[in-house]
């Protein structure tokens, strides 16, 4: 740390002392109180709304405090050679795999229709094309969907613009989705891994792929660092 | 010893990083680069890149949500 503190003191440009920072704790306490108040109100309306409220807030806090960024996970390996966020996303995928499998398997074993099966969508050329343009868009906009929302909340003005066009783009996409579904997406085949490999097999295959990607990411970072 | 300040206030994530990378390439060993940022994401990837590259790095929060990343080119 001694070396680091000397760095700031060695800088030649002297700056006028900034005004003292505003104490943000009262605002924070107020926000928590408002969040709890809204939560109590939603709880009286329906338990589901309260759950959405709580998970939404929790997701936002984790995203902001963890500096978790799906854009960076795809961009930084190329730009900086760092795969720390890429690996964090892979870990998140692995945890989500177990969670989703547990929920779906639980429903199936009770004989109730599994939730979220409408997201088992066909794989088609549209998947590749859509992923490609989404990738370009999120790097230019400086964030994917969740990242943009999080940064607007942080008060980064430029991304209000991203949010605006994100909404316009989503509406446009929803407007034309029928055509895409009819002409492109429905041409593909929907694959639900447990149908192919069985439940245990599906979990093993998916975790294995995630594990291999994790190792690859680590090797890639080592290689870039050595360069 | 030169000192260069680049102002990246209001610029979103990859821009401060790319600007810092390009600027640092033009500088010589021992020079100090100060990157001013207010995008919290750049607060992570700029120091991370510079540290991985082997430079001395320090981050200072100069105001609420405004940071200066001080990089000393060490190689």
Question: CB distance A82–B49 less than 8 Å?
Answer: yes
Question: CB distance A8–B5 less than 8 Å?
Answer: no
pLDDT for res A2 = 42
Closest Cα in chain B to A162: B12
- In this structure, the number of other CB atoms found within 10 A of the CB of residue B46 comes to 27
Closest Cα in chain A to B73: A7
Nearest to B45 among A8, A80, A155 (CB): A80
Q: Which helix (H) or strand (E) holds B72?
A: strand B66-72
Q: What gap in Å lies between CA A72 and CA A82, rounded to an integer?
A: 10
Which residues, including other chains, have CB under 8 Å from residue A25's CB and lie 6 or more apart? Answer: none
pLDDT for res A36 = 94
ipTM over 0.85? The verdict is: no
Closest Cα in chain A to B52: A225
Question: CB distance A143–B41 less than 8 Å?
Answer: yes
Reading chain A (227 residues) residue by residue, the pLDDT tens digits are 444 445 666 665 555 456 667 788 899 899 999 999 999 999 998 889 999 999 999 988 888 888 788 888 888 888 888 888 899 999 999 999 999 999 888 988 888 888 878 788 888 888 888 889 888 888 888 777 888 888 888 877 778 888 898 899 889 989 988 888 888 777 778 888 888 888 889 999 999 999 999 999 999 988 887 76
Which of B18, B45, B67 to mutate against chain A (most A CBs within 10 Å)? B45
Cβ–Cβ contact A218 with B under 8 A: no
What would you report as the CA-atom Rg of chain B, rounded to the nearest whole angstrom?
11
- Look at residues A207, A214, A215, A205 and name the one whose alpha carbon lies nearest to residue A97: A207
Please report residues of B whose CB lies closer than 8 A to that of A135: none
Nearest to A12 among B3, B15, B44 (CB): B3
Burial level of A172, CB count in 10 A (0-12/13-18/19+)? Answer: exposed
> In terms of pTM, does the model score above 0.80?
no
Q: What gap in Å lies between CA A185 and CA A98, rounded to an integer?
A: 27
For chain B (75 residues), the mean pLDDT of every run of 10, in chain order, is 83 83 85 86 83 86 84 84
B15-27: per-residue pLDDT in tens? 888 888 888 888 8
Helices A25-45 and A47-65: crossing angle, nearest 10°? 150
Question: CB distance A143–B12 less than 8 Å?
Answer: yes
Which residues, including other chains, have CB under 8 Å from residue A104's CB and lie 6 or more apart? Answer: A114, A115, A116, A194
**Active-site residue set of B:** 13
Question: CB distance B12–A141 less than 8 Å?
Answer: yes
């Amino acid at each position: 740390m001694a070396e680091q503190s000397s760095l700031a003191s060695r800088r030649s440009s002297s700056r006028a002392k900034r005004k003292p920072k505003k104490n943000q704790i009262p605002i924070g306490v107020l926000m928590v109180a408002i969040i709890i108040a809204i939560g109590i109100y939603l709880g009286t309306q329906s338990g589901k709304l309260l759950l959405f409220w709580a998970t939404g807030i929790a997701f936002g806090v984790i995203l902001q405090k963890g500096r978790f960024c799906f854009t960076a996970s795809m961009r930084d390996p190329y730009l900086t050679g760092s795969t720390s966020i890429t690996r964090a996303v892979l870990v998140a995928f692995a945890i989500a795999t177990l969670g989703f499998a547990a929920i779906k398997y639980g429903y199936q074993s009770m004989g109730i229709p599994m939730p979220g099966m409408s997201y088992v969508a066909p794989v088609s050329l549209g998947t590749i094309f859509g992923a490609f343009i989404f990738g370009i868009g999120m790097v230019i906009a400086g964030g994917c969907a969740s990242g943009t929302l999080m940064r607007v909340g942080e008060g980064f003005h430029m991304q209000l613009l991203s949010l605006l066009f994100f909404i316009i783009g989503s509406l446009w996409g929803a407007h034309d989705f029928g055509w895409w579904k009819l002409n492109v997406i429905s041409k593909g085949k929907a694959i639900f891994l447990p149908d192919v490999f069985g439940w245990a097999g599906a979990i093993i295959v998916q975790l294995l792929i995630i594990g291999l990607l994790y190792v690859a990411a680590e090797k890639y970072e080592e290689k870039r660092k050595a360069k | 010893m030169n000192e260069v300040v680049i102002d990246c206030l209001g610029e979103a994530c990859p821009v401060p990083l790319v600007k810092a990378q390009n600027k640092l390439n033009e500088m010589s060993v021992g020079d100090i680069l100060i990157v001013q940022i207010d995008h919290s994401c750049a607060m992570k990837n700029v120091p991370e890149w510079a540290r991985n590259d082997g430079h001395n790095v320090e981050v200072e929060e100069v105001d609420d949500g405004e940071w200066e990343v001080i990089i000393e080119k060490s190689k």
